[in-house]
Amino acid sequence: MKVYSIMLLLLSVSALDKDDRGSLEPRKCYHCGAEKVKYGVTAARLSENVNHSQPLFDQGNSSNYDWLALFCRSCAKTRSYKDDVCFSAALETLTKKCRRCSRRASFGRAEGVARHCRSHRSMGEIDIANRGKLCMMPNCTTLARYRKKTGERRRFCWIHSNPGEIKISSQQCHHPEGCLKYPSFGLSNGSACFCKLHKSIAHVNIRRSMKEKDVSNTSWRAVKS
């Protein structure tokens, strides 16, 4: 089973964009051609924030989150309009974003910084944002999900996991010895981290509190309307 998974992983890597040199070329402003771009616009943000009958930019085969146009700081303030339609409300900052879309950049070269999201990563790029959480097997770039019940941290991915190790995720109890139950308890100002069996005296039922809050908000809106 693991051999089959390794083959699928290799096929998925080979299917990535092999020629990624274009994404590293200088990006230019849509209006003035300046290379120091600071803002971008996507089809998704345009549809949410701008009322327009005709498409303002040619989307082509791009997704709703791909950059349609990029702008420098000056043009974003003074020339954020087209066909008498102002789209300044749809502008997004490029800080920590993928070079091709508005998703958060997590992948890059081992010696560099994050430049792309998972969808637009190229061959040789690894998960920079989660570098400390990767599998301990050399040259493996998959997130570690498995550990021993008495271990302190996750060590290996599914392919390199050893017999007896269990999968740990954020949707499981955080007990140090390992627990596969769904967490519902935690500190009142935090998130759910422990199940009912492993909760402490200071923990409260976070899931129940969230449900009661949603019900009260829904009832208040119904009365107000």
- Inside any domain, residue 200: no
Confidence of residue 101 (pLDDT cuts 50, 70, 90): very high
Tokens of 113: 């910084």
- H or E element at residue 12: helix 2-14
- Inside any domain, residue 115: no
Asked if 87 contacts 55 with a C-beta cutoff of 8 angstroms, the reply is: no
Domain limits for position 53: 21-93
> Among residues of the chain, what percentage have pLDDT more than 90?
13
The answer for 189, left when phi > 0, alpha when psi is -120 to 50, beta otherwise, is alpha
- Inside any domain, residue 171: no
pLDDT average, residue stretch 89-98 = 91
User: Residue 4 pLDDT > 70, yes or no?
Assistant: no
- Per-position DSSP letters for 125-179, written without gaps between them: -EESTTGGGB-SSTT--SBP-EE-TT-SS--B-TTTPPTT-EE--TTS---TT--
- Inside any domain, residue 132: no
Confidence of residue 22 (pLDDT cuts 50, 70, 90): very low
d(CA 179, CA 204): 18
